[in-house]
Each structure stands twice: as C-alpha cells, then as structure tokens.
Amino acid sequence: MSVLEDVTTPQVIIDRDVLDRNITRMAASVAGKGLRLRPHAKTHKVLQIADRQLAAGAVGLTVATIGEAEVFADHGVEDLFIAYPLWITRPQAERLRRLSARARVSVGVDSVEGATTMGAALNGAAGQIAVLVEIDSGHHRSGASPDLAVEVARAADRAGLRVGGVFTFPGHSYAPGMPQQAVEQEQAALAEATELLTAAGYDASRRSGGSTPTATLTGPSVATEVRPGVYVFGDAQQLELERCGWDDIALSVAATVISRHDTGRGSPRRVVLDSGSKVLGSDRPAWATGHGRVIDHPEARITALSEHHATVVWPEESPLPVLGERLRVIPNHVCITMNLVDEVAVVSGGQIVDRWAVAARGKNY
C-alpha cells in the first residue's frame, strides 16, 4: 500500500472500501433474518461511519455513555440506545432529559435500586425514556439473572419508567469455540426473561442481543435486534476467532521499524515498531497469539507492547524487515485503538482520500 509512505507513524488507517463492504454485508445478513440492526458505535465513534451504517439500514445506534449519545444526537441521529445499566445522578438526569427531547432514547437497567434511582432523578421526564432490562446470559459481568427480570421491571414501572424490553451482551463469545454456545445461552436467557416479563404484563417486544462473534449466528428466534460493533473494522481477535478474514480488515495501524535485532546476542530475533500500546491498546486475551497481527507477515508475533514500542519476534527462516520499513499492524481490539486517537486517515483505492475525526473519543460519561 503506497499510502504507507505518505503518513507519519504510528497512524490509524481506515480502508473505506473494506469498511463499506463490511457494513453492507452485516446489514444484509441481519435483514435477511428479519432482525433489526443497531450497531454499537463505541467501536468507531466516528460520525461518517454512523452515517454509513444508518444509510445501510441500521434502525439507530447503540452507545455506552450519555456523552457518546450526545455526540451522535448533535449530529442528528434520532434513535439511540445506551446499552448500559446507568446509575443516574442529578446532573446526568438533566443531560438525559435534554437528550430525550431530541432523540428516541432507550437505556439499560439491571437492578431494582438502579431503576428506582433513575425514575426519581428523571422525575417528570421518566416516561419519555424506554428502559430495557439487562440480563446476564453467561458473561457474568453486569445484567440481572433472567429470573429477576420481572422484579427489575416492576421497580422501573413503579418509578415511572417505560419498560420496553430486555437486552443482553454475550461477551463470553469472545473465545475460541464459544460463539455458538454463547448465542444459544443468549437466546435462552432472552426467552426466559421475555416469558416472565410478558406473563407479568410488561412489554418485552424489543429483545436486543448480539456481539460481532454472535450477530451472524443469531437466527430469527428470540432476539429482535442485534448490536454488533467490531464488524465494521474487524480486528486481530475476530481474525483469530475466525469471525473475519484478513481481507475483511478495514482498520490497520501504519508503523515504522525503529529498532532491529537480527543476531541473537542473548535476546530474541526481533524488530521494534513505533506502534506501542498508545495506539494498539493492551487488550490481550489468553488465547491470542500476541498483541495484534502484522499484515503480510502471519508468521510474526507481537510478543510485548510498551507505550511506544511493539516488540515483534520473527522466526529464523523468515527475512527480518529492515530499519525504516513500514508495516501494517492489526490491533487485537479495535474499539480500544479508536479511543486512543483523535483522527484517522481514510484510504480508498489505495489513496488517502480523507481524514475523519473520532468525534466521540474520550466521552467517558
């Protein structure tokens, strides 16, 4: 890729052609199953990418914080789901109230106390905001046990909130061999909560699930919408989980070989790239081969990251890149990378055609 020579490294590069293909394919796959697509925008935090997802048929966006929702509402996005069990303080309630005046807003809740506090803080505006009860489908992070969904819904109802359904995040799908099992647990948990909520007279018509590893597996069963995020770019985790191929990678980090050690001298045969954790992020599941992958060099292993250095060990039989050489690195977890940079270079047809701001970067609350 000739653009590699045109940037200052480390530089995040988005291949817009691959991005558009990923967006179109996921939209078609989800629509083909009669599901609604509500992509998680925390992955990219970019207005231009949100526009492309909505143009391809997404019903709205998923975000993780009120701050992210504000950025996309300012841009005109009309339907926003904060898929997070918010604990609402007065200042946040005021922001949520303003947000709900200009967009359809739904939020998560996973406890009686959370629902009660939210209703009280929102006061008169509570009815404008739909709450979805978060349930735990096996990831064991947030989310109520499915058998407690009615208890949470009842508290929400008492607090003046409008119950709109359930959601779950099958995050345990991010491991080898797990996507199919995780999607089955996800559907079972959604089914259990839906049955209980419906029997108790609550609206469970919106049932939201899905992550990138499971979204394409989700059948027309219990879930009515899916919230994949990473699919727009792909990353080394999805690659190693075989949920995407090398040709589906839309985001890479251009990096320069700044140190090179071909002889042993008691240390590994390696190059050091300037793409440290400041741009690749440090996420590294135990099953990953390293801290990302090097495009065109599947044999290379990123064995260590510090903030400004990526140590890449090369096997003896493969020629070691030279000093100053530019390589393209795929981060393990692309959401982390996007949250580290203020803007990205956009490539189409092998040329830099644009720069996009990461508009919702750092909107931590």
Residues ≥6 apart with Cβ < 8 Å to 119: 126, 156, 158, 159, 160, 161
CB–CB of 272/311 below 8 Å? yes
Q: Which two tokens stand for residue 355?
A: 């720069």
CB of 51 to its own copies, least distance (A): 23
Compute the radius of gyration of the chain from its Cα atoms.
22
Nearest to 48 by CA among 76, 67, 70: 76
Residue of 170, 78, 88, 152 whose CA lies nearest to 126 = 88
Taking alpha carbons only, the member of 237, 225, 232, 234 closest to residue 171 is: 237
- Residue (59 or 340) nearer to its own copies, CB: 340
State which residue, 139 or 293, has the beta carbon closest to its own copies. Answer: 139
In the complex, the smallest distance separating the C-beta of residue 362 from its own copies, rounded to whole angstroms, is 5
Least distance to its own copies from the beta carbon of 283, Å? 5
How far is residue 55's CA from residue 47's CA, in Å, rounded to a whole number? 12
Taking the complex as a whole, the smallest distance from the CB of residue 313 to its own copies amounts, in Å, to: 10
Which residue lies nearer to its own copies by CB, 143 or 179?
Answer: 143
DSSP 223: -
Q: How many whole angstroms from its chain centre is CA 28? A: 19
Among 275, 289, 294, smallest CA distance to 341 is for 275
SS3 assignment, position 156: helix
As a whole number of angstroms, the distance between CA 93 and CA 66 comes to 10
Secondary structure in 3-state letters for 323-364: CCCEEEEECCCHHHHHCCCCEEEEEECCEEEEEEECCCCCCC
- Least distance between its own copies and beta carbon 219 (Å): 25
For its own copies, give the closer residue by CB, 27 or 131: 131
Q: Identify which of residues 162 and 278 has a Cβ nearer to its own copies in the complex.
A: 278
C-beta closer to its own copies: residue 234 or 276 = 276
Smallest separation (angstroms) from its own copies to the CB of 127: 23
The minimum distance between CB 266 and its own copies, in angstroms, equals: 8
**Nearer residue to its own copies within complex by CB, 206 or 326:** 326
Closest among 345, 365, 341, 340 to 356, alpha carbons compared: 345
Q: Please, are residues 3 and 347 in contact by the beta-carbon 8 Å criterion?
A: yes
Tell me how far, at minimum, the Cβ of 2 lies from its own copies, in Å.
Answer: 15
Nearer to its own copies, 59 or 336 (CB): 336
Q: Locate 194 and state its tokens.
A: 């839906």
Interface residue list for its own copies (CB under 8 A):
8-11, 42, 64-65, 84-87, 89, 91-92, 110-111, 113-114, 117, 136, 140-143, 145, 171, 256-261, 265, 267-268, 270, 272, 274, 277-279, 281-284, 304, 306-309, 311, 322-324, 335-336, 339-342, 362, 364-365
Q: Is the CB of 26 or the CB of 335 nearer to its own copies? A: 335
